[in-house]
């Protein structure tokens, strides 16, 4: 070994480290646009205005964060003469992690230091409202007039103003058209097509226990059949075609361009954004009349740091201009500055007001025939349960499920074996039992016993189906 | 510098026998003091205790009457020459030697001057800019010595400094080391397991065994008047014969199974006490049995030659005493002696009363 | 003579060895306190949840886990996976290490350095790249179809990723074999060639020599590296999730923790998993690798290496190059993703762009995350070096009682999955606790740095220990004897002598800090504090924008470049001894 060299090298490393640490001192500079109007009104540039801080927790992606941050900061500066800075909390993970986090926080303290919770499916917001960790919002009448209380059977806005939808999301089918064609496979247009034996082992799906949007899409698949049992059979035929269960709905959407799966289900804008990039290859479609549109809510958290600012931000998001930001292309005066967001506004009037100007992928959910009417009672009774049931029946047992499905395909679906395959555990065998069991799931010991029981039940059942002499 | 060790002990956790057990000794200023013993006898531990590299479990150490037991190693002011030299591979020879003066705060010029002085003293000045691994073993040894000397110590410590050198170089270095130490006038403690090194260089030798000093004296004393069988054995070959004291006083007589032995002992053992008589092989002269005893040597024991081996300068005989119950003696006769005895031949083993050492049993 | 000079000395004064080792004992105590506070307490905090039911201490949930045959069979499965992955790693690494030790050929140094690349694969984007290559409709199959080897119109192409258990083993092995390779190289370099020469001299064939002499001597290195690979495979979450093979305990824990309904059962499972990994670690340490501390034997003769001829060189290149190519496919994928504009249904991107690479520097968040990571990783590395070097010093140089306990404690983080540690930090900094202001929502700087530092202490302890073992203690004693203080000796003598070890350990530790996933995801919750891995995660899973994946990959490209350079530097510094860092 050559000692002097190591010494010199050490010096070099130190120098590099010092240089890097020096670079840390410089902070990135913020945007300074639109100063002229401010100077005229307040006699100050944006940087000179007093600063207020809005803290949000949200699973929304950085594009959404950036566009709303930019638009609102500009609006707020002009309207109120303050400079808003945004702090977006991320607790690692999607909407479930956010719910867990907030619950933990409010279990131990009266305040969370967060003003606004935004995005993640109405299920979580209903839970939060029930647990009393939301602050009542004052919604303007023009907002309430243009957002229905319920739509397609789903609540769009909390009657007490604890939360309100800020956008709606539809669910649809997303597929690699080029490869499906090359492989001479049919292109799916309806939910049931995803259960086709020809798509066995080709469908990328998301884990409903981790992804609220995936759970909602499964609920819709169930509800697209007249009975709970038939709905479950349809869902199970799709689950049985699963290639994989991805952690998030986004992973499932990304499985297409990366060549992992040929077909997935996903939220509309996940699909449409990718379709816009690869128009010849990838296709997103909304199964007409088979999907409802779910609200993507916004709410103010209990004991916010800055209630006034939080309320103003909510007002902005729900204003016509804030709503248009979801759906307009870049370049439009009210549109986003960098990237089109491609999401569905919740306000009815926006579709009319900006007709012809919205992105081509935006459909009007309020148009007749587009939307499925949801059975609200069943939705409420089964949504939480379905997440656990799908997790137990499919996610936790994916290999056994696939083996059973494969066996069914090989033996050309003998009715008795299909019946065995579709059989539900006693405690969810009927709609009534579902509602009953769903209530029991609130207790965590009960939940553990029930869900563990399901995992074993389905595993045994799939094993039987896959066995040669099962019929 | 005078060094005093008072009942010093060192025990390690989990080891039954202490490495050093209640050792007391005084080393005079300017003395070249040797610790001699087999490996594991505690001599290196004792040296490290003096240096302060380890602390005693009990007992104390004083330099010039001042208690240094609690003084940490870097403030003791000793200079140790390590067995493997411990020259720092990342420094040049000069930097190594400069280290001591640098630690005592000498200016750049001063320490360079001191270092070069010492390097010249050991004839290594021309290698000042080399790295240690570019030097031979002997050269490294000299640098290690220069490094110790440059520290300006009054107490040099040597831990088997010559053991890594080949035989010829070792002999040469013995003389050089002794001259050097005596020239500088420092007190020096030297640890070795080589009795020749100790006998040829030491002012005094402390023979150690199992953590204790068994005997302390000049080389002549420890060699010719060993206090115990261990010392006698360790310092070279020795012949033993057990017996009981028949008469004491100016002339001591010991009765053994092989005959009576006259001893001129400095001490007067009690009559009747059991003793061991020890005679070095080179002090025994063999005579043919029919020749009769040599009048100038007080003792003559009957013996039979067992074997005879030619070793160049000497011929070594092994002979059985009396009826053989007392074991065998080794005798070294200069080879040019006229007589040559054959195995089986009855002989007389003769030796002077003054060459017999009485050992405690 | 001078016996009376000692009137002041009270003879028989008792001093314990403790006093002599007081500095070591003090350092050890500080380290134990630090590890207890920042490692044990958070872990306890996490697993204790599993032992409470309705606010009372209770074994209910624990029993639920133990009596669950599915969970238990998964534990068995995980063990089996770790065993097989370790075995496959040995099969890959052993020939490479032996050839590297015995032969020289053109380009071996470059190839040997490339072998380290698998260790620095950026998270998430690495996984995405693997999927791109091995997905059922991914690059490999499209390539095969272009070559006419398969026809998608005739039937489904093979699903390489869907190979389940086998797929996990292969990907894990390709990721982890460098750890064993480094260990074996270090062990081979430390075996005195005279042992082998003696065997050959006594008539043993090359193979017999290897089998009867070299291999037994390699065992300590094999076990030391093997234990790390084993624990790594045992606690790995990323690879099984990529492959979609989920019958494994860590994956189950990860998935259950990610759901909205976490029950204490999950934490009971965490406890069982942690107990298992610690037990395996201890078994590896005390039964298998009993003599891992054999250390280096001084070579009495020079090792002889054979220069390979043209054919040999070609074969060696095929072997090394093949392994390198396979194991760096993900890296290639990351780079391609980072520069691709359009890439779907084709082997290579259809269009290229530098937009994503430039984006990293124009996006304040991305740039900021890189700076954050450099800051966190840099400080954590300094902490690791200080703690690790101090611990190594106590373990190697002192004789205090219980230093082997300290050693075990320092190695403990190897057996603790990052996820569990991170969950513990969340728990102790929860809102309302007095540590709240260090929590993820306030300023996670401190807990991030501490969590990073805790996780990688073992590597520094091992790296520095290896160095200290090679530096004769006499060198330090000589300096002390000549008047240098403890600190002075450390700085002037010890530090320069083990500089290479310290720098290599620092570089590796730094790299791992930069790549730290679970702590980063959970503990950094505000964008201004995101490290690079969290930013990559945010982008890679950013569902709205189809380009986010490419932007994430672009960040990964910079990661590979930076860490690749630091790795190369470490490898140049330490050469074959680099493996000393990866010992259990």
Would you list the DSSP string of C121-185? PPTTHHHHHHHHHHSTTSHHHHHHHHTTS--TTTSPPP-SGGGTHHHHHHHHHHHHHHHHHHHHH
Q: How far is C12 from chain B (nearest CA, A)?
A: 5
User: Using CA atoms, how far apart are residues C195 and A447, in angstroms rounded to an integer?
Assistant: 64
| pLDDT value for C15 | 43
- Is the CB of residue A227 less than 8 Å from the CB of residue A377? no
| pLDDT value for C382 | 95
Q: How far is B26 from chain C (nearest CA, A)?
A: 6
* C486 has pLDDT over 70: yes
| pLDDT value for A470 | 44
Confidence of residue A19 (pLDDT cuts 50, 70, 90): very low
**From C1, C15, C480, residue closest to B26, measured CB to CB:** C1
* A32 has pLDDT over 60: no
Portions of chain B given CATH number 2.40.50.100? 237-359
**Reduced to 3 DSSP states, what percent helix, strand and coil does chain B have, rounded to the nearest 5?**
30, 35, 40
Q: Residues C159-181: what's their mean pLDDT? A: 84
* A15 has pLDDT over 50: no
> Which residues of chain C does B57 touch, with a Cβ-Cβ cutoff of 8 Å?
14-17
- Is the CB of residue C532 less than 8 Å from the CB of residue C435? no
Chains contacting chain B through 3 or more C-beta pairs under 8 A:
A, C
* C293 has pLDDT over 50: no
Torsion of CA C310, C313, C315, C319, to 10 degrees: -170
Residue of A nearest to B89 (CA): A3
| pLDDT value for B267 | 76
Whether B13 sits inside 8 A of C472 (CB atoms) is: no
Residue with the larger pLDDT of the pair A84 and C285: A84
Whether C11 sits inside 8 A of B73 (CB atoms) is: no
Whether A21 sits inside 8 A of C375 (CB atoms) is: yes
Q: What is the DSSP letter of A9?
A: H
Domain boundaries, chain C: 26-296+354-581
Q: Is A85 on the interface with C (CB under 8 A)?
A: no
Least confident of B25-29, C263-267, C557-561: C263-267
* C6 has pLDDT over 90: no
| pLDDT value for C579 | 66
Most confident of A288-297, B223-232, C105-114: B223-232
| pLDDT value for A315 | 95
Confidence of residue C584 (pLDDT cuts 50, 70, 90): low
Least confident of A11-15, B72-76, B183-187: A11-15
| pLDDT value for A339 | 81
Query: What average pLDDT does the structure give for chain A?
Result: 85
Architecture category of domain B237-359 in CATH: Beta Barrel (2.40)
* C291 has pLDDT over 60: no
Question: In terms of Cα–Cα distance, which of A409, A402, A390, A392 is closest to A462?
Answer: A402
Confidence of residue B15 (pLDDT cuts 50, 70, 90): confident
CB atoms within 10 A of CB A118: 25
Q: Is C330 on the interface with A (CB under 8 A)?
A: no
Confidence of residue C10 (pLDDT cuts 50, 70, 90): very low
Selected from 3.40.50.10860, 3.40.50.1820, 3.20.20.70, 1.10.3720.10, the CATH number assigned to the domain covering C26-296+354-581 reads: 1.10.3720.10
> Taking a contact as any Cβ pair under 8 Å apart, which residues of chain C between 153 and 212 contact chain B?
none
Contacts made by residues A272-276, CB under 8 angstroms, sequence distance 24+: A272/A342, A272/A359, A272/A361, A273/A342, A273/C544, A273/C545, A273/C546, A274/A174, A274/C546, A275/A174, A275/A361, A276/A340, A276/A342, A276/A361, A276/C546
| pLDDT value for B147 | 93
Most confident of A255-259, C17-21, C86-90, C211-215: C86-90
Q: Is A279 on the interface with C (CB under 8 A)?
A: no
Residue of B nearest to C480 (CA): B74
User: Using CA atoms, how far apart are residues A414 and A422, in angstroms rounded to an integer?
Assistant: 12
Residue of B nearest to A3 (CA): B90
How far is C-alpha A317 from the geometric centre of its chain's CA atoms?
Answer: 18
**From C69, C497, C525, residue closest to A89, measured CB to CB:** C525
State the complex-level ipTM. Answer: 0.81
Residue of C nearest to B21 (CA): C12
Q: Which residue of A1, A2, A3, A6 is the best one to mutate when testing the B interface, meaning the one whose CB has the most B CBs within 10 A?
A: A3
User: Using CA atoms, how far apart are residues B58 and B38, in angstroms rounded to an integer?
Assistant: 23
Q: How far is C3 from chain B (nearest CA, A)?
A: 7
Q: Tokens 């229905």 identify what position?
A: A148
User: Using CA atoms, how far apart are residues C232 and C547, in angstroms rounded to an integer?
Assistant: 32
Q: How far is C393 from chain B (nearest CA, A)?
A: 17
> Which residues of chain C does A63 touch, with a Cβ-Cβ cutoff of 8 Å?
542, 544-545
* A359 has pLDDT over 90: no
> Which residues of chain B does A3 touch, with a Cβ-Cβ cutoff of 8 Å?
89-90
Whether A259 sits inside 8 A of C344 (CB atoms) is: yes
Question: In terms of Cα–Cα distance, which of A374, A375, A389, A372 is closest to A433?
Answer: A389
Confidence of residue A26 (pLDDT cuts 50, 70, 90): very low
Whether C164 sits inside 8 A of A447 (CB atoms) is: no
> Which residues of chain A does C261 touch, with a Cβ-Cβ cutoff of 8 Å?
209, 388, 444, 447
Q: How far is C499 from chain B (nearest CA, A)?
A: 11
Q: Residues A189-202: what's their mean pLDDT? A: 91
Q: Which residue of B87, B88, B90 is the best one to mutate when testing the A interface, meaning the one whose CB has the most A CBs within 10 A?
A: B90
Confidence of residue A437 (pLDDT cuts 50, 70, 90): very high
What residues of chain B have any CB closer than 8 angstroms to a CB in chain A?
89-90
> Which residues of chain A does B90 touch, with a Cβ-Cβ cutoff of 8 Å?
3-4
Residue of A nearest to C510 (CA): A17
**Please, what are the domains in chain A?**
35-167+295-353 (3.40.190.10), 171-291+374-466 (3.40.190.10)
| pLDDT value for C133 | 87
Whether A105 sits inside 8 A of C431 (CB atoms) is: yes
Portions of chain B given CATH number 3.40.50.300? 3-232
* C206 has pLDDT over 50: yes
- Is the CB of residue C340 less than 8 Å from the CB of residue C352? yes
| pLDDT value for A12 | 40
| pLDDT value for C288 | 60
* C16 has pLDDT over 50: no
Residue of B nearest to C13 (CA): B58
Confidence of residue C377 (pLDDT cuts 50, 70, 90): very high
Q: Residues B48-61: what's their mean pLDDT? A: 90
User: Using CA atoms, how far apart are residues C523 and C451, in angstroms rounded to an integer?
Assistant: 9
User: Using CA atoms, how far apart are residues A444 and A442, in angstroms rounded to an integer?
Assistant: 6
Confidence of residue C331 (pLDDT cuts 50, 70, 90): very high
Whether A399 sits inside 8 A of C164 (CB atoms) is: yes
Most confident of B12-26, B185-199, C426-440, C569-583: B185-199
Q: Residues B112-130: what's their mean pLDDT? A: 93
Q: How far is C336 from chain A (nearest CA, A)?
A: 12
Q: Is A269 on the interface with C (CB under 8 A)?
A: yes
Architecture category of domain B3-232 in CATH: 3-Layer(aba) Sandwich (3.40)
Query: How confident is the model over B180-206, as pLDDT tens digits?
Result: 899 888 999 999 999 999 999 999 999
From start to end of B29-162, where are the E strands? 32-36, 58-63, 66-67, 78-81, 155-159
Q: Reduce the DSSP state of residue A174 to 3 states and report it.
A: strand
């Amino acid at each position: 070994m050559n000692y002097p060299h190591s010494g010199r090298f050490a010096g070099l490393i130190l120098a590099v480290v010092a240089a890097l640490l020096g670079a840390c001192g410089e902070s990135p500079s913020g945007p300074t646009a639109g100063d002229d109007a401010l100077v005229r009104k307040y006699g100050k540039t944006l940087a000179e205005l007093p600063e207020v801080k809005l803290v949000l927790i949200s699973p929304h992606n950085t594009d959404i964060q950036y566009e709303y941050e930019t638009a609102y900061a500009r609006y707020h500066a002009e309207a109120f003469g303050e400079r808003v800075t945004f702090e977006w909390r991320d607790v690692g993970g999607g909407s479930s992690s956010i719910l867990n986090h907030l619950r933990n926080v409010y279990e131990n303290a009266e305040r969370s230091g967060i003003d606004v919770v935004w995005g993640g499916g109405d299920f979580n917001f209903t839970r939060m409202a029930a647990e009393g960790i939301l602050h009542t919002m004052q919604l303007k009448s023009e907002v309430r007039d243009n957002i229905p209380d319920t739509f397609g059977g789903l609540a769009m806005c909390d009657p007490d103003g604890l939360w309100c939808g800020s956008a709606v999301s539809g669910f649809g089918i997303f597929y690699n058209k080029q490869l499906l064609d090359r492989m001479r496979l049919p292109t799916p247009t309806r939910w049931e097509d995803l259960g086709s034996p020809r798509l066995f082992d080709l469908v990328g799906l998301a884990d409903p226990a981790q992804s609220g949007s995936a759970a909602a899409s499964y609920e819709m698949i169930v509800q697209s059949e007249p009975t709970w049992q038939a709905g479950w059979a349809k869902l199970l035929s799709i689950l049985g075609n699963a290639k994989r269960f991805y952690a998030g709905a986004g992973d499932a959407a990304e499985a297409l361009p990366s060549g992992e799966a040929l077909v997935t289900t996903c939220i509309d804008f996940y699909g449409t954004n990718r379709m816009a990039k690869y128009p010849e290859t990838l296709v997103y479609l909304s199964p007409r009349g088979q999907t409802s549109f779910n609200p993507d809510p916004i709410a103010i958290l209990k004991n916010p740091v800055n209630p006034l600012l939080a309320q103003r931000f909510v007002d902005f998001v729900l204003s016509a201009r804030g709503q248009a930001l979801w759906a307009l292309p870049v370049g439009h005066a009210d549109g986003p500055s960098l990237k089109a967001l491609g999401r569905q506004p919740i306000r009815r009037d926006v579709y009319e007001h900006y007709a012809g100007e919205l992105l081509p992928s935006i459909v009007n959910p309020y148009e007749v025939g587009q939307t499925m009417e949801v059975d609200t009672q069943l939705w409420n009774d089964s949504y939480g349960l379905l997440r656990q049931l799908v997790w137990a029946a499919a996610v936790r047992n994916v290999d056994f499920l696939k083996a059973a499905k494969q066996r069914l395909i090989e033996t050309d679906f003998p009715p008795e074996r299909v019946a065995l395959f579709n059989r539900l555990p006693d405690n969810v065998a009927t709609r009534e039992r579902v509602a009953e069991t769903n209530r029991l799931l609130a207790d965590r010991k009960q939940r553990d016993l029930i869900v563990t029981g399901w995992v074993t039940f389905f595993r045994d059942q799939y094993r039987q189906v896959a066995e040669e002499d099962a019929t | 510098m005078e060094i005093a060790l008072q009942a010093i002990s060192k025990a390690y956790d989990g080891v039954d026998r202490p490495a050093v057990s209640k050792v007391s000794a005084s080393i005079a200023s300017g003395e070249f003091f040797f610790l001699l013993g087999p490996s594991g006898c505690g001599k290196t531990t004792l040296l490290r205790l003096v240096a302060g590299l380890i602390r005693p479990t009990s007992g104390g150490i004083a330099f010039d009457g001042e208690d240094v037991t609690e003084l940490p190693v870097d403030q003791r002011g000793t200079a140790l020459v390590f067995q493997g030299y411990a020259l720092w591979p990342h420094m040049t020879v000069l930097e190594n030697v400069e280290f001591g003066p640098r630690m005592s705060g000498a200016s750049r010029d001063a320490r360079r001057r001191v270092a070069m002085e010492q390097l010249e003293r050991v004839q290594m000045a021309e290698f000042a800019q080399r790295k240690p691994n570019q030097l031979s073993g002997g050269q490294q040894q000299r640098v290690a010595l220069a490094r110790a000397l440059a520290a300006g110590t009054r107490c040099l410590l040597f831990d088997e400094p010559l053991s890594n050198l080949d035989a010829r170089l070792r002999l040469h270095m013995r003389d050089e080391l002794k001259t050097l130490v005596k020239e500088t006038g420092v007190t020096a403690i030297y640890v070795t397991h080589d009795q020749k090194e100790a006998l040829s260089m030491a002012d005094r030798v402390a023979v150690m065994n199992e953590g204790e000093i068994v005997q302390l004296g000049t080389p002549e004393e420890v060699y010719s008047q060993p206090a115990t069988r261990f010392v006698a054995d360790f310092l070279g070959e020795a012949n033993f014969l057990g017996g009981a004291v028949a008469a004491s006083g100016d002339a001591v007589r010991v009765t053994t199974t092989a005959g009576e032995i006259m001893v001129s002992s400095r001490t007067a053992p009690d009559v009747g006490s059991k003793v061991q008589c020890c005679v070095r092989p080179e002090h025994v002269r063999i005579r043919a049995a029919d020749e009769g005893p040599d009048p100038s040597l007080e003792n003559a024991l009957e013996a039979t030659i067992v074997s005879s081996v030619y070793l160049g300068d000497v011929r070594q005989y092994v002979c059985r005493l009396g009826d053989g119950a007392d074991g065998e003696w080794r005798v070294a006769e200069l080879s040019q002696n006229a007589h040559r005895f054959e195995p089986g031949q009855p002989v007389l083993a003769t030796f002077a009363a003054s060459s017999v050492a009485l050992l405690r049993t | 003579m001078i016996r009376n000079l000692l009137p002041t000395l009270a003879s028989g004064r008792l001093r314990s060895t403790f006093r002599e080792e007081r500095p070591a004992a003090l350092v050890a105590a500080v380290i134990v306190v630090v590890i207890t506070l920042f490692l044990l307490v958070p872990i306890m905090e996490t697993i204790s949840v599993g032992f409470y039911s309705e606010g009372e201490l209770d074994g209910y949930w624990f029993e639920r886990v133990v009596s669950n045959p599915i969970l238990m069979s998964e534990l068995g499965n995980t063990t089996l996976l770790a065993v097989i992955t370790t075995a496959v790693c040995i099969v890959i690494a052993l020939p490479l290490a032996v050839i590297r030790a015995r032969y020289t050929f053109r380009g071996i140094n470059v190839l040997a350095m490339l072998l380290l690349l698998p260790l620095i694969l950026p998270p998430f984007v690495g996984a995405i790249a693997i999927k791109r290559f091995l997905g059922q409709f991914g690059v490999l199959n499209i390539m095969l179809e272009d070559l006419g080897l398969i026809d998608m119109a005739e039937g489904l192409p093979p699903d390489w990723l869907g190979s389940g258990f086998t797929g996990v083993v292969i990907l894990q092995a390709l990721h982890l074999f460098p750890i064993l390779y480094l260990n074996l190289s270090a062990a081979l370099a430390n075996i005195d060639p005279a042992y082998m020469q003696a065997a050959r001299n006594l008539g043993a064939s090359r193979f017999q020599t290897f089998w009867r002499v070299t291999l037994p001597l390699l065992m300590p290195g094999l076990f030391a590296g093997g234990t790390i690979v084993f624990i790594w495979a045992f606690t790995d979450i990323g690879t099984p999730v990529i492959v979609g093979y989920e019958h494994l305990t860590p994956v189950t824990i990860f998935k259950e923790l990610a759901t909205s309904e976490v029950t204490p059962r999950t934490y009971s499972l965490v406890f069982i998993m942690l107990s298992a990994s610690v037990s395996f670690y201890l078994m590896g340490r005390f039964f298998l690798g009993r003599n891992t501390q054999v250390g280096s034997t001084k070579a009495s003769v020079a090792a002889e290496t054979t220069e390979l001829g043209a054919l040999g060189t070609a074969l060696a290149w095929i072997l090394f190059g093949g392994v390198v190519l396979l194991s760096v496919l993900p890296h290639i994928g990351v780079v391609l993703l980072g520069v691709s504009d359009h890439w779907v249904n084709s082997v290579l991107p259809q269009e290229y762009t530098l937009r994503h690479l430039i984006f990293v520097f124009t996006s304040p968040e991305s740039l900021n995350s890189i700076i954050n990571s450099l800051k966190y990783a840099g400080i954590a590395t300094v902490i690791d070096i200080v703690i690790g070097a101090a611990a190594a010093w106590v373990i190697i140089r002192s004789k205090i009682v219980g230093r082997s306990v300290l050693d075990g404690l320092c190695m403990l983080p190897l057996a603790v999955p990052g996820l569990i540690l991170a969950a513990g930090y969340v728990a102790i900094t929860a809102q309302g606790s007095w540590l709240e202001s260090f929590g993820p929502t306030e300023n996670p700087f401190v807990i991030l740095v501490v969590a990073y530092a805790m996780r990688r202490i073992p590597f520094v302890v091992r790296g520095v220990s290896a160095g200290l073992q090679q530096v004769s203690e006499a060198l330090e004693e000589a300096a002390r004897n000549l008047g240098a203080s403890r600190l002075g000796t450390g700085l002037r003598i010890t530090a320069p002598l083990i500089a290479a070890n310290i720098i290599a350990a620092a570089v590796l530790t730094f790299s791992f800090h930069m790549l730290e996933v679970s702590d980063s995801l959970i503990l950094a919750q505000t964008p201004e504090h995101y490290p690079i891995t969290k930013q990559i995660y945010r982008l890679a899973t950013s569902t709205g924008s189809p380009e986010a994946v490419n932007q994430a990959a672009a960040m990964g490209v910079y990661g590979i470049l930076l860490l690749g350079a630091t790795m190369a530097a470490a490898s140049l510094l330490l050469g074959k001894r680099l493996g000393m860092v990866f010992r259990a």
